[in-house]
Amino acid sequence: MIVGTAGHIDHGKTTLVRALTGVDTDRLPEEKKRGITIELGYAFMDDGRIGFVDVPGHERLVHTMLAGATGIDCALLLVAADDGVMPQTREHLAVLSLLGVSRGAVVVTKVDRVEPGRVEAVRTEAGALLSGTPLAGAPVHAVSAHTGAGIQGLKAWLQAEAAATARRDDPTAAFRLAVDRTFTLDGVGTVVTGTVHAGRVGIGDELVLTPAAREHRVRVRSLHAQNRPVDEARAGQRCAVALAGIARDDIERGQWLVHPAVRLATDRIDVQLTLWQGEPKGLRSGTPVHVHLGAAAAMGTVALLDAGDTLAPGATARVQLVLHAPVGAWHGDRVVLRDASASRTLAGGTVLDPLAPARYRRTPQRLAELDALALPTREARRDALLAVAPHGLDLRRFDAMQGVVRAEEAGGWAIGAAQRLATRDAVMSALAAFHAGAPEEPGPDAARLRRLAAPRLPEAPWLQLLAEWVGEGALVRRGAYVQRPEHGALLSATEERIAQKVAPLLAGGSFDGVWARDMARDAKESEALVRTALARLAQRGELHQVVKDLYYAPQTMATLAGIARQVAAAQGGEVTAAAFRDATGLGRKRAIQILEHFDRIGLLRRVGDVHKLRSDTQLFAEAAK
């Protein structure tokens, strides 16, 4: 169990921890000199089963207190008997409340300095202070670290709480540690410390730091958990990790040390946020704030999503935090906001979506997704998201956001039944319209069909659905083209005979193509029958009709497409008629006709006087290799 001590400066936090553990957490020379805790201090009791995070109480050091308070199981809020409740007492209580800490006690310290009546008055004052917070009704202990009065009773209470602390051990949870200190030890190397928020880690494991400019994998050289050398550390423990493969200067406080599968960095977070009940006024969209998450702090602004223009004191709503620098965040992490001057704590909440979208963030669709993400279990969140997500769910991304390591054999995408049916209907309608408007064409390629029918559907689920529909026989793929089964159906015996006769004529054609009348003449067939057969072959994707009655063999067209790709590569993705004419040796008219054909089938896109190569098309991709 991790216990956080909080309270006003000089109310005896460090002295109390020393009385409980025998450890002086004021370890820095400056701390000794000034008599206050500047950095986070750590100590352990009960054979390492209970760890203490001694956080500073000075007003200017509340950001350090926030780093220490994140991840604690139980809080001790200290109030000196001679001073009573002070400003930092209230702020630390606000931080603990907004972090969702509901287990703890008030400790009235320095009782040897005052009369018994004063102790009772402070006990009453402290108990009243907790009213309306998650710590309401918490026990109040009166102690003196100097005389030892009440220390054994407080120890017994802590031991009972530790025994009742449920072990946070989700076998699917990936390891995550919030880095709050880093240093170098002789003979050991670079060491980071922090609270393990989830998962397990063992000696020899490979981890990454996030956020970071580039992925830097490190190896665990040795471990200390709860102040003891161990082979494995787990969630809920204070942990020191010695790392191989990185220098101290390459690590910053506020980073996370995580399993590679859940490496995330984000500058937009959707949060379920509560404004502190003691705030004098509401929180408005656009308010600049300090955002504290894990051991990190970053500036950002608040965008209310479903609370109108202002969030009232004590109220809860969904908000998006837009950060000025990336942080690591996962679903369920606690967030605390302080005002722009960092003088007071404003609000706190829980991360719903650590990879929040910049667009469509207030639409009914998006709010329905946030409703799903607010459900209590991972399975419920996943199923509810599938029911409302119009484009399916990237399961690897979802589980990374949840801090979960997925089995390698698990599929990458899942799509809800209703969304699957709606997408299929849109595809069939788009294909019917395409075939009606361009009956001589075999159909769009897969990328173009996605643009026509489901432009916001990501490529991975699109290809997954397309493969399913082709496997079911609902669609037909001929090369890169997609068509309905009835389009370009089987050839008749006459059409088969004509196809065999014209094949060598088409194969021997130049970049100028072959006219239908010339093929009818050379094949000694009726012009009408040849035209019908050629149109059917074009529908099947077995040849290309560039203009009426002008046809190209697939290999010839692939060669021309390869030239177009080469021209585009040399001209920043653009193809002009003049450049294509020069590269092919064609006349200007025929060059333009071929480029317009490439526009129609989705290889190029006309923009003004140029044709731009579509980056997502697979048409004639083999010819470019």
User: What number is the average pLDDT over the span 357-361?
Assistant: 93
Rg of the chain taking only CA atoms, in angstroms: 34
What CA–CA distance (Å, rounded) separates 560 from 510? 11
- Nearest CA to 413 among 463, 367, 368, 373? 463
- Please report the pLDDT score of residue 24 as a whole number: 67
Pairing of strands 200-202, 232-234: antiparallel
Whole-number Cα distances in Å, 109 to 105, 113, 121, 149: 12, 9, 13, 10
- Which element (helix H / strand E) includes 185? strand 176-185
Across 304-318, 397-411, 487-501, the highest mean pLDDT is recorded for 304-318
- Nearest CA to 389 among 406, 359, 368? 368
Is the pLDDT confidence value at 431 over 60? yes
More reliable by pLDDT, 40 or 316: 316
pLDDT band with cut points at 50, 70 and 90 for residue 266:
very high
- Please report the pLDDT score of residue 527 as a whole number: 93
More reliable by pLDDT, 55 or 421: 421
- Please report the pLDDT score of residue 31 as a whole number: 31
> What one-character-per-residue DSSP string does 120-172 give?
HHHHHHHHHHTTTSTTTT--EEE--TTT-TTHHHHHHHHHHHHHHPPP---TT
What are the pLDDT digits (tens) for 522-540?
999 999 999 989 988 888 8
Is the pLDDT confidence value at 165 over 80? no
What CA–CA distance (Å, rounded) separates 48 from 53? 13
Contacts of 504 (CB under 8 A, 6+ apart): none
- Please report the pLDDT score of residue 593 as a whole number: 95
Q: Are 393 and 373 in contact (CB under 8 A)?
A: no
Q: Are 606 and 599 in contact (CB under 8 A)?
A: yes
What CA–CA distance (Å, rounded) separates 274 from 311? 8
Q: Are 610 and 576 in contact (CB under 8 A)?
A: yes
Q: Are 210 and 256 in contact (CB under 8 A)?
A: yes
Q: Please indicate, yes or no, whether the overall pTM of this predicted structure exceeds 0.85.
A: no
pLDDT band with cut points at 50, 70 and 90 for residue 39:
very low
What CA–CA distance (Å, rounded) separates 572 from 581? 18
User: What number is the average pLDDT over the span 595-611?
Assistant: 90
User: What number is the average pLDDT over the span 206-212?
Assistant: 96
More reliable by pLDDT, 477 or 426: 426
Q: Are 585 and 511 in contact (CB under 8 A)?
A: yes
Q: Are 320 and 95 in contact (CB under 8 A)?
A: no
User: What number is the average pLDDT over the span 460-482?
Assistant: 88
- Please report the pLDDT score of residue 21 as a whole number: 86
Ordered by where they begin, the domains of the chain are 2-164 (3.40.50.300), 176-262 (2.40.30.10), 266-373 (2.40.30.10), 417-483 (1.10.10.10)
Count how many Cα atoms sit within 13 Å of the Cα of residue 465 in the half-sphere of its side chain.
Answer: 30
User: What number is the average pLDDT over the span 244-269?
Assistant: 94
What are the pLDDT digits (tens) for 372-392?
999 999 999 999 999 999 888
> What one-character-per-residue DSSP string does 241-272 give?
EEEES--GGG--TT-EEE-GGG---EEEEEEE
User: What number is the average pLDDT over the span 543-556?
Assistant: 92
Contacts of 174 (CB under 8 A, 6+ apart): 198, 199, 258, 259, 261, 262, 403, 404, 405
- Please report the pLDDT score of residue 169 as a whole number: 67
What SS3 state is found at 564?
helix
Tokens of 623: 């010819």
What CA–CA distance (Å, rounded) separates 591 from 585? 9
User: What number is the average pLDDT over the span 298-322?
Assistant: 95
**Length, in residues, of the chain:** 625
Is the pLDDT confidence value at 622 over 90? no
User: What number is the average pLDDT over the span 35-53?
Assistant: 64
Tokens of 496: 């088969």
- Please report the pLDDT score of residue 30 as a whole number: 36
Is the pLDDT confidence value at 486 over 90? no
Phi, psi of 591 (to 5 degrees): -60, -45
- Please report the pLDDT score of residue 624 as a whole number: 54
- Please report the pLDDT score of residue 28 as a whole number: 34
Is the pLDDT confidence value at 409 over 70? no
Tokens of 17: 């921890």
What CA–CA distance (Å, rounded) separates 592 from 461? 36
Output the average pLDDT for the chain.
88
- Please report the pLDDT score of residue 539 as a whole number: 83
Phi, psi of 279 (to 5 degrees): -70, 140
What SS3 state is found at 366?
helix
What CA–CA distance (Å, rounded) separates 397 from 389? 14
- Please report the pLDDT score of residue 602 as a whole number: 84
Considering the chain, what percentage of its residues have pLDDT values greater than 70?
92
Is the pLDDT confidence value at 498 over 60? yes
Is the pLDDT confidence value at 297 over 80? yes
Beta strands (DSSP E) in 13-163 are 41-45, 50-54, 74-80, 104-109, 140-142
For helices 516-523 and 493-507, the axis angle rounded to 10 degrees is 110
Bridge partner residues of 551 (DSSP): 514, 545
Judge residue 204's burial from the number of C-beta atoms within 10 Å of its C-beta, 0-12 exposed, 13-18 middle, 19 or more buried.
exposed
What CA–CA distance (Å, rounded) separates 301 from 322? 5
What CA–CA distance (Å, rounded) separates 318 from 352? 9
Cα three-residue angle 164-167-171, rounded to 5 degrees: 160
Q: ω into residue 211 within 30 of 0, thus cis?
A: yes
What are the pLDDT digits (tens) for 46-85?
777 888 877 654 444 455 555 655 667 889 999 999 999 9
Longest dimension (CA), the chain: 121
More reliable by pLDDT, 515 or 39: 515
Whole-number Cα distances in Å, 535 to 444, 514, 516, 553: 16, 14, 10, 13
pLDDT band with cut points at 50, 70 and 90 for residue 109:
very high
- Which element (helix H / strand E) includes 470? helix 459-472
Q: SS3 letters for 210-234?
A: ECCCCCCEEEEEEEEECCEEECEEE
Contacts of 317 (CB under 8 A, 6+ apart): 272, 273, 304, 305, 306, 307, 311
φ/ψ bin of 23: left (φ > 0), alpha (ψ from -120 to 50), beta (otherwise): beta
What are the pLDDT digits (tens) for 127-145?
999 998 999 999 999 999 9
Q: Are 507 and 553 in contact (CB under 8 A)?
A: yes
pLDDT band with cut points at 50, 70 and 90 for residue 25:
low
